[in-house]
């Protein structure tokens, strides 16, 4: 395995950025962040498809991505980001994880997905998504209903076959604790206090695994900080990715 040189956080501003959506979501969850960050960095939204395992998707993406880049993933996208880090650490300038766990799926959780897969294949995907992603895992507030509707719309657009494919990815994903312990890159972990899918304490543990990680805990967010607190997440990412002068400029022009 190629040894990774220590990368100063300020160097991230000179690297392309790759963002990876989570389970049954697409570029819409990254809309606010991409709109801001693309003023300063080349930004690619990576598709989460093309294999029955997280590692398959990671390898396929690495074939098409720049030689060196920063990757930020949310949920399932975080698992893919960690798989890219495991496979090609010398190509990863920095890694950001949002609402993500490095742990493998438990047998009980993997078994819980089987009835969801069966029901989704019978045309009940929208109802299944309400169980996979209950509203209680978002922070309370007036936007909760709107976000839940947007999640259901994305799932409808992406379709049942992708639901099955991504469910299998989650069931089979590998434990990545050792990958994070070895990482010498700048790291960022963003978690919402109200996240019931990946509880905040588990995400704190994720940050503790990395040598150079920064943790941001959002009081008014749950499992989807990107959509629940888009401006706050955008500012966190700008502070992490961009030199101070660019951040100040962004604050003045945003």
Answer yes or no: is 153 within a domain: no
Q: Mean pLDDT, to the nearest integer, of 158-167?
A: 97
3 assigned to some structural domain: no
pLDDT at residue 249, as a whole number: 53
Judge residue 150's burial from the number of C-beta atoms within 10 Å of its C-beta, 0-12 exposed, 13-18 middle, 19 or more buried. Answer: middle
For 62-111, the pLDDT digits (tens) are: 999 999 999 999 999 999 999 999 999 999 999 999 999 999 999 999 99
Q: What's the mean per-residue pLDDT of the chain?
A: 91
Domain-embedded: residue 58:
yes
Kindly give, in sequence order, each residue whose CB lies less than 8 Å from that of residue 158, ignoring residues fewer than 6 positions away. 24, 25, 26
Residue 51: which pLDDT band, with cuts at 50, 70 and 90?
confident
pLDDT category of residue 2 using cuts at 50, 70 and 90: very low
pLDDT at 244: 54
Number of helical (H) and strand (E) elements in the chain, helices listed first: 12, 6
Per the domain annotation, does 189 fall within a domain? yes
Residue 123 lies in a domain: no
Give me the CATH number covering residue 242.
3.40.50.1820
Residue 119 lies in a domain: no
- State the pTM of this model: 0.91
pLDDT confidence of residue 8: 60
- Locus of tokens 């008014």: 220
For residue 95, is it within any domain? yes
By percentage, how much of the chain surpasses pLDDT 70?
91
The model's confidence at residue 250, banded by pLDDT at 50, 70 and 90, is low
**Span 140-157, mean pLDDT?**
94
Domain membership of residue 6 (yes or no) is no
pLDDT at 52: 87
Residue 235 lies in domain = 14-106+165-247
Q: What is the DSSP letter of 97?
A: E
Confidence of residue 11 (pLDDT cuts 50, 70, 90): confident
The pLDDT of residue 7 is above 70: no
Domain count, the chain: 1
> What is the rounded CA–CA span in Å between residue 181 and residue 177?
6
Residues 220, 199: Cα–Cα separation, whole Å: 14
């Amino acid at each position: 395995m190629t040894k990774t040189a220590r990368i100063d956080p300020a160097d991230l501003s000179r690297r392309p950025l790759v963002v990876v959506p989570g389970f049954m979501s697409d570029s819409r969850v990254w809309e606010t962040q991409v709109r801001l960050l693309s003023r300063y960095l080349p930004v690619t939204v990576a598709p989460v498809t093309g294999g029955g395992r997280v590692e398959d998707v990671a390898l396929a993406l690495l074939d098409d991505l720049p030689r060196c880049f920063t990757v930020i993933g949310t949920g399932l996208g975080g698992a893919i980001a960690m798989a890219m880090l495991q496979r090609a650490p010398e190509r990863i300038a920095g890694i950001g994880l949002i609402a993500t766990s490095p742990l493998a799926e438990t047998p009980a959780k993997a078994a819980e997905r089987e009835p969801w897969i069966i029901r989704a294949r019978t045309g009940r995907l929208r109802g299944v998504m309400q169980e996979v992603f209950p509203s209680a895992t978002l922070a309370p507030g007036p936007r909760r209903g709107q976000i839940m509707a947007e999640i259901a719309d994305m799932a409808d657009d992406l379709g049942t076959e992708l639901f099955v494919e991504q469910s299998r990815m989650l069931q089979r994903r590998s434990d990545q604790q050792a990958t994070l312990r070895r990482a010498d890159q700048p790291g960022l972990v963003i978690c919402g206090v109200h996240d019931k899918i990946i509880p905040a304490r588990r995400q704190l543990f994720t940050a503790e695994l990395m040598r150079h990680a920064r943790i941001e805990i959002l009081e008014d967010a749950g499992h989807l900080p990107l959509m629940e607190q888009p401006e706050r997440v955008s500012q966190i990412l700008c502070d992490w990715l961009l030199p101070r002068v660019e951040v100040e400029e962004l604050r003045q022009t945003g």
